Homo-oligomer: A and B are copies of this chain.
Amino acid sequence: MVEDSEESLFDAPPMGEQERMVEAILFASAEPVKLAELQARMPHGADPAEALVYLKKRYEGRGVNLVKVGDAYAFRTAADLGFLMRRETVEVRKLSRAAIETLAIVAYHQPVTRAEIEEIRGVAVSRGTIDQLMELEWIRLGRRRMTPGRPVTFVVTEQFLDHFGLESARDLPGLKELRAAGLLDSRPLPGQGAASDEEDEALVGQSELFED
């Protein structure tokens, strides 16, 4: 796994030590830590990816679990113990129905343009809704759509995944069923252009999303 081990002048620490290091780094951070960052902080030749496998196993069923968020890792308390944490609970601003629906649409249809959100909801998206979701850092701008006008698209963020305990956007509940039922297709009104291309694009987008 350690491709550059022959180049290394020093031996990497034993795996047990590497596991301790990853444990310490992840424990110290409230935010998920990317694999690349772990690699950068650990001694040369270390293989945090492997250490993470051991560490994940070690914390299985514990009060604190190792979770994957996008391409980052974090320790989170086990969800079944939430009742003990009333003191730590942070009051989240109640989201409007429009905001919740918009969030779901971005998550399931990403990358999605504002026009597409509006088409799905059948109503204009107010500026405040998008702003609120951006402020929560649950959605962000994706890459522009290569269609006339080059509209901006929205995608969900790593914070979104972290907040809802998702490893990736592909793990959204019911995503497969919705896709199989064709409900994630962008299907324009009959007689208004082809849909198949766009559908492909939406699928590609979803998998590309968390690459960077």
Interface residues of A (CB under 8 A from B): 19-25, 27-30, 41-42, 61-64, 75, 77-78, 81, 84-85, 87-88
Contacts and interface: CB of A to CB of B under 8 A. Distances in A.
Nearest to A23: B63
Contacts of A61: 20
A63 B21 contact: yes
A41 B87 contact: yes
A19 B64 CA distance: 11
A22 B78 CA distance: 12
Nearest to A55: B63
B41 A81 contact: no
A84 B41 CA distance: 6
Contacts of A29: 87-88
Contacts of A87: 29, 41
A165 B21 CA distance: 20
